[in-house]
Each structure stands twice: as C-alpha cells, then as structure tokens.
Chains A and B, each alone.
Chain A
C-alpha cells in the first residue's frame, strides 16, 4: 500500500507491468512530438514571436514614436493621431497609463515592423479579435514583423493589470485594403 513501506525491500528490481511500460513509452514519444512541433513551427510556421528586443528609455521611445506620427499622420480621431505608414516601415506603439498611442492604420497583406514598449508600468498588448497577445515591458523595446491578413477596425485591449484604469486602456488599429487614401 502507498501508506506502508513497500513489501518487497528491493522494489526497484520488481518487473514493470507491460501495460505501464507501454504507456511510459507512448507518453515519452508524445512528448517528443510536442517538442518537435515547436521546432517545426519555427521552421515552417508563420506565427513565431520575434526575438528582437532592445533596451531603451521612455524618452527615447516616445521620441521615436512622435517622429513617426509627425511623418505619417493622416487624420485625427477622438484626440488620437491616426498614422498610415508605408509598407515595410518601422511603426511604433506606446503603452502608457492608460492608453495605446497612436492609432495605426495598416494595409492588408503588407508587412510592418511593429515596435512595442511601455513608458511606465507593464502592460499587455492584446489585439482583438485577432487575438495576438504580447507582454509589454518598460525599458524594453520589442520589434516584430506583422502582416495583417484581415481588414477592418481592431481593438487593442490591455490584458496586464496596470492599476485602477486598466480596464479603460483601449487602443485601436485599422487595416484597409490597397491604400485607403
């Protein structure tokens, strides 16, 4: 019994029942499959998170973002600048208490280098309803290449608790088909 010492003193020499042995082997092989699925996806899959990241200060990051807004702003909405950068461009999104700034307008089927960083606390970038979720840290600038494949209006929800205004921290992103201007 499990609550008494093993009856057989040399329990480690007991034979293992076949069914147990088979299950151990199956489970081990399944572990290998799951492990190599991740490796496989790195080679052939399209959704892999970038490893590109830099240390940065809040001042540097907001300067870069403002430069982009200056260059590519096309209109304003609810007090937010809307920027429409060209394909392949570096685009910046600021997370801060409690907003995502500015509003990005992208084109379907084109790639952009999206930068993410926080100016204050940790936040959670959650693009809805696409459902891409990335942790956003202060002092770290993460860069990933994204390629929108659906058009419309997207919400950016904050899903890392960041104080009392956390649930009001919402941003927006637009994806338009061929141009939009």
Chain B
C-alpha cells in the first residue's frame, strides 16, 4: 500500500526515519513541552503559596492552580510525550512506516482538544476538584468530557503503535526479536490499554452524573476504580522512562543489555503485577479487608518491585560494562567518572536513575506497606514521594531523551549548549529538594492539598511544629530552583526546535554508537555497579525498618 512512503536515512545512526512519523513525533513532543511549561508554572505558584512567608495565591486560586498543575503535568505533558516515544520506539527504531498516520493525527487532535477543554473548565474556576476529581466533589461536565476525549485520543495512539509493530513484522524491517527499547515501549502500551479502560469505566459514569443522568456514585467504588486508572498510568510512566534509560545508554554509549533475558523478564513483571498496586491508595479506606490490602499493595509479594530492582542493576551495569570495554578499567569507579557528564542526555538519564531509585522507589515501597501507610496517607509526604518518581524519574528522563530527539528528529543543533549542559543538574537539584522537603514535612503530619497549615482563621486551630514551616519554606526555595531548571529546558528546546541551526544529513550530533557482538554478557564484570546496588540495598533496608519503628510509637489501634 504505502511502501513508497518518503523516508530518509539518518547519517549518524543509520536509522530509517519516515517523514510522516517524524511529523507526528514533532507535533506530540512540542505540545507536550508547552503543557510542561504551563503546568510547571502552576506548580511553582503552588509551592510558593505553601511557603508561609510568601503565601502567594488566595485560597480559591490555590486550589485551582493545584488542579491545573496536576492535570497539565501529570496527564497532558507526560502522555503527549509518551505518544512521541511510542512512535519513536516503533516506527523509527524498527525502521518502518507508521501504521494509519491519519488515525494517529486524529488521536493527536482529540488529545489536544480534550486537554484544552479541561483546562478551560479548570480556569473558569468551577472545577477545582483536583486531578483525582473524587465524587461527590463536582466539576463542570466539560471537565470530565475533556479528560475522556483525551483518553480516547491516547488510546488511538496506542493502537497506532501496535499497528506499526504489525507493519514492521509483515514488511520484515527487522530480524529476530524486536529491540529491547521497542519491547519496553510495548510493555508500556499494554499497560496503557488496561489503564485507559479503567479510566473510561469510571469517568464516563462520572460525566453522566455531572449532567444529571446518574444520581449517585459510591465514593469507595470511585476511589477503587479511579486508582485502577490513576495508578496504572504511573506504571506506564515507569515502563516508558526505564525504556528511555536503556535507549540513552545505547545511543550515547553503545551499551548493550547485560542479559536480554533478565531485562525483558523484568519488564514482563510489570505487565503481570503492576496493576495490583492501585491498592496502595486504599490502605486506610473503610470496608476493605486486610488480606486484600496486603496481597495487592505488595504487588503479589513485591514481584513488580523486583522488576524495578533488576533494572536498577542492569541499567548502570550495562553502562559499566561498555565503559570498561572502552578501557576505563581502573579501580571501582573510573568507568563512572569517565562517563559523558557534559552530555545532558546522559547526565539527565543518570540523575533520573539515581533519584528514581533512591528517593522515589524506596519511599514508594515503604509508604505502600499496609500499616506504615497510616502515618503517611494524604500527608505532603505523598507529593514528596511522587515528585521523585514522576518528576525526577519520568520527567527528567523525558527531558534527557529530548536532547537526542532534537538532532535526530527535528534535525536542529542544540542551541545554548552550555545551558543545556547545566540543565539536568539544576532541575535535578531542585526536584530533589522539593521531594525531600515535602517528605520531611509529611512525617510531621503536614497535609497535602492544603492552602494554609497555620490555620489562622479556624475555630479550633492547631499549630504544626516550627520545623514543618521551615521545611515548607525550603520546599518553596527548591521549587524556584526546579522552576529555573524547567525554564532552562523550555528555552533550550523551543530555541533549538524553532531557531536552531539546521542539520543537513551530513553532520553528526548524536554520539556514534559502538555496536558489535551481542554476548559480552558472559565476560562483563560490573563490580562498581554491585557496590552502588549494595549501597542502595542497605539504604532500603534501613529506611524500611526505621519507618516500622516510627509506626510502633503511634497510639495502638486495631
């Protein structure tokens, strides 16, 4: 049918890039970055409001901004970018044309229209219900409608991805099994189907309820199904950003998986077990049995956590292996020191890996323990945790890969290279700050989604310890740093994409890769990585038991 479609061969990577794919990736990535900028700005105003000395916004604007922040960054930015990643991991990596480009554009338009509709609903002021929109808080009908349209658009994109895999298989554009990166993206896509189905099951009745066709929605049922959607979408993010870690390690350094079998197996665990984890949002809800909670919150004996812990070894391990192959063999860590730290794609990826594992991963598992959740649920510890996963982990990984996409897909040189070089460090520093200070304040009981913890005008005021206010102030300062890092990213990407020097198909901007035989696995020794993983493991154990000790100091309850 369309085998004569236009494509070019990338001179540096040898990848075959189809015109239609390229345009779709460009459109999705650009819209994503625009929403990151808008949503990030809202996040900054939220953080500055929670800084007592600044207390920027009035209450109604605070709740509006918080709703817009959650939606625009967590949903719109991330999903648009993921669509770009899916198209890249199928059409570009496999070197085949994209299936049904018209449908892909239809999906894009639906997502964009949906995002705009919901944003307008929020900005009008009557839909400050947070992105979770728990009933019986009621938003304007258009709020739900926008999200539904967005989800339908995303679902179309997922099917275009599957279609493209089929095309590649039929037209034999690759041999053997799909590359690991495509495999990881497929895992993300499979989870996405489940996720979007849950979203439809809960949001369609809620929309009908908002226009009066459904009279009552049970709150517990809502929370259970909503988190089937809300939590699983985080698993899409994890699968997507880990895929990107592998991709960056491969493209920048030429790294190979230590063992295809182990890495793929780890991804597979996500499909099998991640969905269960929506339970960890329900640990302190009434009417759910402890047996159900314990089994589900642990993803069936922590098998999905096992998946992530495996990637935590294999990603740095493959970097060590390839660096040692290049001769950086001195001591435990020469390979690490000699990594391209000045390349924002690499540094962003590595900071994402470290913060996701140490901060986001450990805190997530610990707060998901059935009983420990009692001392953490709905405190600001929760946003602290997920800024380490979804901002330091996912967002920073997406930023890092953008530095590869700009030369490869947009065919522009990176503008302001020095700013680009610094950007992952600045953003990483700011995000570590917001994550850890919010986590700290949460252990002191500071609530999330709360305009004023000094509660000056409450009838029965309660004073939080002074340290809590200090931590929220430090959080505000870190937010400024993170905001700066975000702005640097937007300036570099927008600048490069629209005004960067065009790359003709001769120049090289992506570092050359050193592909050779698969099978270094048997010889690869990765002692440095084992030490890093050991440090991680000890921190994990300590933090786990420290929190049990905190719990044991709380009033007995049963």
Chain A contacts to B: CB under 8 angstroms: 1-9, 11-12, 14-17, 19-20, 23-24, 26-28, 30-32, 34-35, 37-39, 41-42, 45-51, 53, 78-80, 99, 103, 116, 120-122, 124, 126, 128-135, 137-142, 144-150, 155-164, 166-172
**Contact between chains at A47 and B554 (CB < 8 Å):** yes
**Contact between chains at A5 and B378 (CB < 8 Å):** no
Q: Which residues of A contact B134 (CB under 8 A)?
A: 121-122, 160-161
Binds A, one of B34-42, B253-261, B333-341, B475-483: B253-261
**Contact between chains at A23 and B533 (CB < 8 Å):** yes
Q: Which residues of A contact B377 (CB under 8 A)?
A: 124, 133-135, 159
Count of chain B residues with Cβ under 8 Å from any Cβ of A? 111
Bound-state CA distance A121–B137 (Å) is 7
Bound-state CA distance A11–B524 (Å) is 16
Q: Which residues of B contact A168 (CB under 8 A)?
A: 455, 457-459
- Closest-by-CB residue of A relative to B557 is A146
Q: Which residues of A contact B522 (CB under 8 A)?
A: 15, 17
CB contact between B517 and one of A7, A122, A170 (< 8 Å): that residue: A7
Binds A, one of B18-26, B174-182, B324-332, B412-420: B174-182
**Contact between chains at B519 and A122 (CB < 8 Å):** no
**B 409-464 contacts with A by CB, 8 A:** 443-445, 447-453, 455, 457-464
Binds A, one of B78-86, B107-115, B304-312, B343-351: B304-312
Q: Which residues of B contact A163 (CB under 8 A)?
A: 137
Cβ distance B139 to chain A, nearest Cβ, rounded Å:
12
Q: Which residues of B contact A142 (CB under 8 A)?
A: 286-287
CB contact between A5 and one of B174, B255, B283, B375 (< 8 Å): that residue: B174
Bound-state CA distance A48–B371 (Å) is 6
Cβ distance B230 to chain A, nearest Cβ, rounded Å:
15
- Besides A17-B524, A132-B375, 20 more A-B contacts (Cβ < 8 Å) are A4-B515, A8-B518, A20-B313, A27-B306, A31-B306, A32-B302, A35-B294, A38-B371, A41-B371, A47-B554, A49-B370, A129-B465, A130-B555, A133-B379, A135-B282, A135-B286, A140-B219, A147-B557, A148-B555, A168-B458
**B 117-131 contacts with A by CB, 8 A:** 128, 130
Q: Which residues of B contact A38 (CB under 8 A)?
A: 294, 298, 369-371
Q: Which residues of B contact A164 (CB under 8 A)?
A: 59-60, 63, 128
Q: A2-B247, A14-B261, A134-B284 are in contact. Are A171 and B449 (CB under 8 A)?
A: no
Bound-state CA distance A137–B426 (Å) is 41
**Centre residue among B218, B255, B260, B365 by max chain A CB count within 10 A:** B260
Q: Which 4 A-B pairs have the closest CB atoms?
A: A155-B462, A7-B518, A31-B302, A159-B447
Q: Which residues of B contact A160 (CB under 8 A)?
A: 134, 378, 449
Asked if B290 CB lies within 8 Å of chain A CBs, one says yes
**Centre residue among B59, B551, B555 by max chain A CB count within 10 A:** B555
Asked if B504 CB lies within 8 Å of chain A CBs, one says no
Bound-state CA distance A2–B551 (Å) is 43
**Contact between chains at B284 and A135 (CB < 8 Å):** yes
**Contact between chains at A50 and B558 (CB < 8 Å):** yes
Bound-state CA distance A156–B458 (Å) is 12
Q: Which residues of A contact B314 (CB under 8 A)?
A: 20
